[in-house]
Structure 1
């Protein structure tokens, strides 16, 4: 598979702040994670750039209407790498995404996945940030055409209005099947994900 990668660095101060506000004030939001927020951001970006939500199957393009996001999770009980899937992510709010992602991961790790828990993915996310990994390249899960690799949130000095201030940054790398779409689309998609995670109020707007 001919592939390529695109990496961006995002300021996530507002996302971290919003996540804490949700935990403190919204019932059911106590376990919302950064991965949940990224799932919502990616779902909205996939709506805007449907070329990314396309599969390569037997030499043909298959553009998917549904936005089903797989989550690469560490092996458990000798099961190997698992990619449980949350279906129709673009039609779910953050709390629904958080609840369903925990449920499908728990079922998959227990060896008792539901009928659709490990199938139907159209895009995947792999987050190794919790292990202190700054940046990495993830391998595409066929027949999907892209996967997002997410690194750790780091406290670093940043320039803001000409001043050096403390900031929180996170690096994200998109691996792309070059047969399906090209660099410009990948760059535009990543710019949209970056915009959404840096301005996360859009992530809590009710799902449509």
Structure 2
């Protein structure tokens, strides 16, 4: 016997309440296996592929593409025993014209059951059969007498030509006069543009060509595009509002000569252990943040409002703000403080690729401790970043530019970058925030300073 079971939308992330159906990979009638991907959903964190929990056959999809479904609501029905055959049913007896069919259903004789009777029988209408031989013939129909066609009407005489108006006769050639007559143009109303005032074909055609209409005003609504606020965009907006109006933000700025860091990057790219690694300035900035956080652990803490406690963490789950087609997401590099520069560079490259493809696992979107946003990739010098909810600090890394800089009393071109640090003033005091930002700047200006940490 068939065994139907419904699969409810699971909580794929910490605290997930709903998700949007992006794509179905199966349809009713398809056979499915355990762990086969049946659909893709978009949560407030990322796009997630849902695997099938059972073997069976899909019988019904309970949610449409684009529909937002609450966690726990069924989204698909699967028959776990599709091979079970039901007992054969007895063939129904032929129904008569007055059989008791259900209203709206077709009876055995092709009629539809209605509230009164069963309606007309289905099928095309048939011609009445011819009478068989020996039947009485049909009386012939009397024919009306033939009436000769009427004589053709006499051809009317041509209408007389209108007399000149005020003694004036328009000058135009016969073809132009015929064109004016066909188009209904009064030649007396035209001023000829030809030699001696002769009316030309162009004069006649311009008389019937309407003036170009003024362009119609386009309503404002026709030049607008509305997109529902949902998924990642809605979650990001709510998080930013909660953070901006909960944590008292303070932002400090620092301009740094990062020429030594860029020179070290150029040397390391030629080293054997870094030849297959995408070594970016972001990797150096991330390493500097991780080292500086050891001296100022306050930037790697959390304000627990419910417990009225500050939670200091002995690990760093580094968040990296990433722009994706679905909006801003902040995936995390777990235990980044335990990684070498090479390991960190590899992790950042993989994180960026996964985020752009929308394949970041939901577990990697939560639990961050401090974040970096690299606005420099957009050619931006700096900004005032908003702290990621649950954290107390975020660093903005600006674009690295060639700028004049004073070195040893001389103005020389150097690689210069601007840093911006926003921190929660409930946890991080001005002294602590300033020291952390100065440490990050010192490590980028002279990577050898790391030897002193």
* TM-score, structure 2 normalization: 0.43
Work out the CA distance in 2 between the residues paired with 1:202 and 1:90: 17
Find the counterpart in structure 1 of residue 407 from structure 2: 160
Alignment pair present for 1:176 and 2:414: no
Q: Please name the residue that 2:304 is paired with.
A: 57
- Please tell me whether the aligned partners of residues 70 and 85 of structure 1 are also in contact (alpha carbons under 8 angstroms): yes
Quote how far apart the aligned CAs of 1:61 are. 1.1
1:152-205: CA deviation from partner (whole Å, max 9, x where unpaired): 1111111111111111110000001111111000000011111111111456x7
Q: Is the 8 A contact 2:257 2:416 kept in 1?
A: yes
Query: Which one of the candidate residues 322, 333, 350 is aligned to 1:73?
Result: 322
Higher helix share: 1
Match in the other structure for 1:187: 434
CA distance in 1, matches of 2:418, 2:397: 6
**Alpha-carbon distance change, 28 to 159 in structure 1, aligned in 2, over 3 angstroms:** closer
Which residue does 1:14 correspond to in 2? Answer: 260
The whole-number CA distance in structure 2 between the counterparts of 1:12 and 1:66 is 27
The structure having more radius of gyration, on CA atoms, is 2
Distance 1:169 1:150 in 2: 11
Which residue does the alignment assign to 1:196? Answer: 443
Task: Return structure 1 stretches of 4+ with deviation > 4 angstroms.
Answer: none
Is this contact kept in 1: 2:402–2:416, CA < 8 A? yes
Gaps of 5+ in 1: none
My pick for the range that moved more, 59-68 or 107-116, is 107-116
Q: State the distance in 1 between where 2:403 and 2:274 align.
A: 31
Give, in angstroms, the shift of residue 112 of structure 1: 2.2
In structure 1, distance between residues paired with 2:449 and 2:335: 18
